[in-house]
Amino acid sequence: MKIPYQPPIESITYTKVLQALSEPNRVKIIRCLSESGENNCTAYTIKLMLPKSTVSHHIKVLREAGLIQARVQGKEHFYSLRKSEIEHKFPGLLDSVIQVNEEDI
């Protein structure tokens, strides 16, 4: 199975990251990944109560912005935060997203 594209850390831009984080459900996915470490789409479909196609779209946007990475195991895709890389490039960004109050999303 083909591994989905993930941009190298050098090509990730601040504006692209902020654009990806401008959608509340994407922020919720980031927060879920922070808590769980790694998950597949099904976990977010259940937790966010969204159709799988919508969750897949949000994950694609986050992955192409460079915030998350994919790991393929058989037919399943597992996603995790690129926390250390993002923290190195944009210090404090993910922590501020993770720590925001749920009602402020």
Quickly name the fold that domain 12-94 has: Arc Repressor Mutant, subunit A (1.10.10)
E strand spans, the chain: 68-73, 76-81
- As a whole number of Å, the CA-based R_g of the chain is 13
Would you state the pLDDT for residue 51? Answer: 86
Would you state the pLDDT for residue 102? Answer: 80
Mention every residue, 6+ apart, whose C-beta is less than 8 A from residue 29: 44, 48, 55, 58, 59, 62, 68
For the entire predicted model, the pTM comes to 0.88
C-alpha–C-alpha distance, residues 13 and 66, integer Å: 9
The predicted-structure confidence for 50-81, as pLDDT tens digits, reads as follows: 888 888 899 999 999 999 999 988 888 889 99
The predicted-structure confidence for 13-43, as pLDDT tens digits, reads as follows: 999 999 999 999 999 999 988 888 888 776 6
Would you state the pLDDT for residue 90? Answer: 96
Domain boundaries, the chain: 12-94
The pLDDT-based confidence of 1 (bands split at 50, 70, 90) is low
